[in-house]
Amino acid sequence: MEALLGSPKLRASPLSPAAARSPLPSRVRAIAPAAASRPRPLRSGPKSTVQALARDEMLNAAALEDAKAVNDAAASQGIRIRRHCRPTASMKEVEEEMGAPRNILEKIIWDKEIEVAQGLARNPLKEVIESAGKAPPTRDFYGALAAAYKRNGVPALIAEVKKASPSRGVLRENFDPVEIARAYEKHGAACLSILTDEKYFQGSFENLQKVRKAEVKCPLLCKEFVIDEWQIYYARSIGADAVLLIAAVLTDHDLKYFLQICNKLGLTALVEVHDEREMERVLKIDGVQLIGINNRSLETFIVDTSNTKTLLEKHGDAIREKGILVVGESGLFNPDDVAYVQNAGVSAVLVGESLVKQEDPGRAIAGLFGKELLH
Ligand SMILES: O=P(O)(O)OC[C@@H](O)[C@@H](O)c1c[nH]c2ccccc12
């Protein structure tokens, strides 16, 4: 299939024949390749005639078929998260067709499909691409991490501006994203991660925008559940320097496609893996510079820092050969934790909870590393 269709240059997903034929805008294909080829059913629309009802049923059946093609292709790569591919339907309708989401990550993604459609309606892709084109140059996220690691001799810090999470609830009541970002920067964070998911993490794109406008100099990661190119252009247009791409959610094709967009926009992609299969998939993709190993499963919430060690024992050589920098993510609380993942081979760490929960998140950095970090 790949050979037939050529390299995955800004074109339809090879997942479905319908998408391969269709000259549709690529954004729709990215979210649901086959589903994009027909108008989406709106079951709540007017149903005044028998014909209209029959038509609805047909469209609905088509949507289900499309979702099946997308999900079968994803499953063949070991991806357990399904898409409903019906971004204009209500969640109730989605669940009637698909059953309940199997885990929290799937739930987040199902909501995200609907959210993205709403975002697109508010800010059409064409306009967002235009404003991304006018945004000031990005800052070098990868370079900032590499330089900080060299300077401090401990993993570079990506400090996360995180109010809440589905696994831990609210982490900080009086939450001022700009104040926290400034404190992190002052105390030696190399880069910042700003959670933008609203429903599950109480973050927002607005927070990212505010931090950028506050003249914080650290490069910023837009911590979002990216499933559509619109989110990437939007992140760039409001000042992100990097975006997260989660391998547990995205097929190889999606990853390649989104990496191309990042490249075009000067964004760094942090490609997140959690298990062996995801790591193997990601290492086969060209152009990956930064891999994050999440110690927390987004499906079960189980945190295990030995995950970083296990994956690097097996793949560390291949990673070093490619010049990829590894970020140890989640569940790091003290200098021992940091030393553990550093010995496993990471050059950077991504930390939220243990900093943001403390009275002074900036000062908490010295506690996490056992020393002050230099700028
Ligand atoms: O708060 P912690 O345990 O330090 O974790 C930070 C970060 O790794 C975590 O927020 C995270 C990692 N990958 C994600 C993907 C989506 C949302 C959140 C995350």
Q: What ipTM is given for this predicted complex?
A: 0.99
Higher pLDDT, 288 or 57: 288
Q: What is the mean pLDDT of the chain?
A: 88
Q: Looking at residue 62, what is its pLDDT?
A: 76
Q: Looking at residue 243, what is its pLDDT?
A: 99
65: confidence class by pLDDT, cuts 50, 70, 90:
confident
Q: What are 234-264's pLDDT values in tens digits?
A: 999 999 999 999 999 999 999 999 999 999 9
Please say if 162 is a catalytic residue: yes
- The answer to whether the CB of 294 is under 6 A from ligand 1 is yes
**Phi, psi (degrees; rounded to nearest 5) at 224:** -135, 160
Best mutation site among 104, 165, 224 for ligand 1, i.e. most ligand atoms within 8 A of its Cβ?
A: 165
Q: Looking at residue 51, what is its pLDDT?
A: 65
Under 8 Å between Cβ of 348 and 145: yes
Of 85-99, 247-261, 265-279, 350-364, the poorest mean pLDDT is in: 85-99
Three-state DSSP class for residue 139: coil
12: confidence class by pLDDT, cuts 50, 70, 90:
very low
Higher pLDDT, 12 or 203: 203
The pTM assigned to this predicted structure is 0.87
- The answer to whether the CB of 351 is under 6 A from ligand 1 is yes
Specify the DSSP element, H or E, that contains 215. Answer: none
Q: Which residues pair with 194 in a beta bridge?
A: 161, 222
Pairing, β 169-170 against β 164-165:
antiparallel
Best mutation site among 350, 351, 368 for ligand 1, i.e. most ligand atoms within 8 A of its Cβ?
A: 350
Q: What are 150-185's pLDDT values in tens digits?
A: 999 999 999 999 999 999 999 999 999 999 999 999
Under 8 Å between Cβ of 181 and 214: yes
What ranges make up the beta strands (E) of the chain?
156-161, 164-165, 169-170, 191-195, 220-223, 242-246, 268-273, 290-294, 325-329, 348-351
Under 8 Å between Cβ of 291 and 326: yes
